[in-house]
Amino acid sequence: MVERTALESEIIRKCLSRSELQCSFVEYRGFKVIYRRYASLFFIVGTKADIDVRKHLALNSKTNNKSTSTKGDTGVVTGGGGDDSGNYENELGLLEFIHTLVETMDRWAGSICELDIMYQLEQVHFLLDEMVMNGYIVETNKSNILRPIDLMDRESKKNEGMFR
């Protein structure tokens, strides 16, 4: 946990030290970092670096060449190269995800600012949970993302009125 906190701090410092003219993609200690600045807010997304993927693919191709076997007469070829846990993330896609997240938050809270995020962190996490599941982007439609949040807000207002 301490190592993760230190890594997050280093990545934040690295992103803050870059100028607006520099690219929004950074490779740092085995991670690919994509960030975008909106006024005073920085949104940062991290994933595995492509360098590791190239090494993984090279190792897989070496092991696949040594240990390929055919299965029956169906022509299915299986290799003994292990898992295919390579990173095929698109940097521009992740940058677009950040933009969609900010637009969705703007629609939800008016003009999003750090106070909205700080004081309504649970709703921000819920909004992110609607967009990302198990590390994969599953929803980008702003209306579909905000519908459950609006329903929860309406129900909580009904409950507040009942107890007065």
Q: Which residues contact 137 (CB under 8 A, 6 or more apart)?
A: 97, 131
Per-residue pLDDT reduced to its tens digit, 110-152: 888 899 999 999 999 999 999 999 888 999 999 999 999 999 8
What are 140's two structure tokens? 């980008």
- Say how far apart CA 149 and CA 142 lie, in whole Å: 11
Q: What structural domains and CATH numbers belong to the chain? A: 2-49+87-162 (3.30.450.60)
pLDDT category at 164 given cuts 50, 70, 90 is low
With 0-12 / 13-18 / 19 or more C-beta atoms within 10 angstroms meaning exposed / middle / buried, residue 112 is buried
Per-residue pLDDT reduced to its tens digit, 88-114: 778 899 999 999 999 999 999 888 889
